[in-house]
Amino acid sequence: MQEDYTYVVLADDDEDDRLFFVEAFEELKIQTRVDIYKDGVALMDALNVPDSVLPNILFLDLNMPKKSGLECLIEIKSNNRFKDIAIAIYSTSASEEDIENTFVQGANIYIKKPSDFKILKKILSDVVTINWQYHTNGLDKDNFLLRL
């Protein structure tokens, strides 16, 4: 940990979801920096800037225009520079097969967007905590799979 906060990034085309996401982190006591992108292309452009600060956790909505979450995931996983980013899929819903496929493609976390703000806060806090633990306790990141 170079910094004392967790840097999270969300790519989601839905305005309301972006709002919930930012508000949830605002209300959480954890020290975080949150960046938001409106679609996959914007996200990848930002990540691909050389020497850019990389997020600790990247939240990806699956269903985005131009570049879907899964495309972003595959792209990120094929670039060694991004190997330390924990990837959380943040989606409305998907079939069991789709969920498993995102894990196989390298996602660490699958989050089904909840319909209760309190639950959202709990989930995001859990994600940050567990990621923190993986980071600080030298746990095998290849085994980092979490579904919430």
Partner 1 sequence: MMPFKSIYYSERFLKIIFGFSLFMVLVMGGIAYKHIRQLSRSTADVQHNYEVHLELEKLLSALKDAESGKRGFIISRDSTFLEPLLLSSLELDKNMEHLKFLTKDNPEQQKNIAELKAKIVKSLDIFKKTLDLAATDNLNSPEFIAGFREGRQTMNSVRFKIIEMTTHESDVLGTSKEKSSKNISNTPMLLYYVLILSLLILLLTYLQNSKNLKVLKEKNELLETFKKSTTQSEIISKHGNWIWHIEENTFEYSDNLYRLLGEEPQSFEANLANYMDFVHPDDVDKLTEQVNKMMENEDLPFIHYRIIQKNGSIKHFKAYGKLLIDSDGHKKILGTTADITDEIENYRLIEKRNLELERSNKELSSFNYVASHDLQEPLRKIQTFLSRLEEKEQDHLSNNGKVYIERIKSSSTRMRSLIDDLLQFSRTNRSEEALEDSNINILLETAKHDLVEIISDKRARISSDFIPSMKVIPFQIKQLFLNLMSNSLKYSRELTAPVITITYSQTKASDLPKIKYSKHNLYHTITVKDNGIGFDQDYAEKIFILFNRLHNKNEYSGTGIGLSICKKIVENHNGYITAEGDINNGSIFTIYLPLS
Partner 2 sequence: MKIFIKFDFTQFCSTILDEKLDELNIKYRMLNFGEIEFLEPVPPDKLKAFDAILDTYGIEKIENQKVILVQKIKDTLIDMVFNTNDAINVKSSVYLSDKLGHSYGYLSNLFSEVTYTSIENFIILQRIEYAKSLITNTGLSLTEIAFRLQYSSVAHLSTQFKNTTGITPTAFQRIIAKRRELKNNKD
- Stretch 72-101 residues interacting with partner 1 (CB under 8 A): 92-96
- Residue 9: enclosing H or E segment and its boundaries? strand 6-11
Residue 113 interacts with, from partner 2, partner 1, none (CB under 5-8 Å by kind): partner 1
- State both tokens at 12: 């989601």
Classify the phi-psi angles of 73: left when phi > 0, otherwise alpha if psi is within -120 to 50, otherwise beta: alpha
**Using rule CB under 8 A, residue 13 touches partner 1:** no
Give the closest residue to 113 by CA, choosing from 61, 36, 43. 61
Could you say which of 80, 95, 115, 143 contacts partner 2 (CB under 8 A)?
143
**From the list partner 2, partner 1, none, partner contacted by residue 4 (C-beta under 5 to 8 A by kind):** none
Give the span between the Cα atoms of 64 and 113, in whole angstroms.
15
Residue span binding partner 2 (CB under 8 A) among the ranges 16-24, 64-72, 99-107, 114-122: 99-107
Q: Tokens at residue 117, please?
A: 């703000």
Residue ranges binding partner 2 (CB under 8 A): 1-2, 30, 100, 103-106, 110, 125, 128-130, 132-133, 136-140, 142-143, 145-148
